[in-house]
A = this chain, B = another copy of it.
Amino acid sequence: MLVLFTDFGLQGPYLGQVHAVLQQHTPGVPVINLFSDLPPFDIQAAAYLLPACAQGLPPGTVFVCVVDPGVGGARPGVVLRADGRWYVGPNEGLFAPLTRRARNIECWVLPPPGEEVSPSFHGRDVFAPVAARIARNGRFEGEGIMVSELDRPDWPDELHRVVYIDRFGNAVTGLRKAAVDPGTVFNVNGHQLRNARTFSDVEKGQAFWHENSSGLVEFAVNLGRADTVLGLQVGSEFSD
């Protein structure tokens, strides 16, 4: 299975062009748009979402991951094999939390792209063909690099920051539920939020935090929009 994890948006030709490349290189392998509207250019938000979104997917899955504000610049592309799943994308921090949490990991650097490659679309012209080759062959051969070269030592293990607002106004954070005591009360823009199992366990209109379906702490309001009620957007910080 090939999986796209990008900030391309669903609009325009970008996702479709990547699908077309993958289809030509590995006919018959299913391609899934796992996340297409990651916050634009926000590498850190995507980095903390990636391990959470990846965990349910089977070994052998190949991810094409692109959030790339430095598009066309000198940052190298990398390939990771972490806990049996493969990841291909630019090395600007996107894989940092993943490397810290993996039990088994191996990393390679991609050679600099040639002249025929569009400098503004490495996702289509560089990363997708590499991912297709891995999906076809089940392996990658290239120049290995140290896992530490993918880390961002200045980033915390758990991120107290909103990394995504979904269609319903729920605010996903970069903090894993498993790292938090269930009795924790979060201070979110002056609101004190307590844990509940899920929406239907609180009153209509009440704000709470819960473990979302990807294992992350999420701020929510039963039958309401947490982003509006709590004044949140991607990047908003909070404390416990």
Contacts and interface: CB of A to CB of B under 8 A. Distances in A.
Interface of A: 1, 3, 8-17, 19-21, 23-24, 27, 30, 32-37, 40-41, 49, 53, 56-58, 69-74, 118-121, 124-125, 164, 166-168, 197-201, 210-214, 223
7 contacts: A1-B20, A15-B33, A20-B32, A20-B34, A70-B199, A72-B197, A73-B200
B120 A213 contact: yes
A56 B20 contact: yes
A32 B36 CA distance: 15
A146 to B, nearest CB: 25
A177 to B, nearest CB: 11
Stoichiometry (number of copies): 3
A23 B3 CA distance: 12
A65 to B, nearest CB: 13
Given A12-B164, A35-B12, A121 B71 contact: no
Nearest to A4: B16
**Centre residue among A3, A19, A211 by max chain B CB count within 10 A:** A19
Given A120-B210, A214-B13, A23 B41 contact: no
Given A12-B166, A120-B212, A20 B33 contact: no
Given A1-B24, A124-B213, A125-B213, 9 more contacts: A13-B53, A17-B213, A20-B34, A20-B56, A23-B30, A71-B200, A72-B198, A118-B211, A120-B198
B166 A121 contact: no
A74 B199 CA distance: 12
B37 A12 contact: yes
A35 B16 contact: yes
A84 to B, nearest CB: 14
B35 A13 contact: yes
B167 A9 contact: yes
A45 to B, nearest CB: 12
B120 A199 contact: yes
Across chains A and B, which 4 residue pairs bring their CB atoms closest together, nearest first? Answer: A72-B198, A9-B167, A73-B200, A121-B213
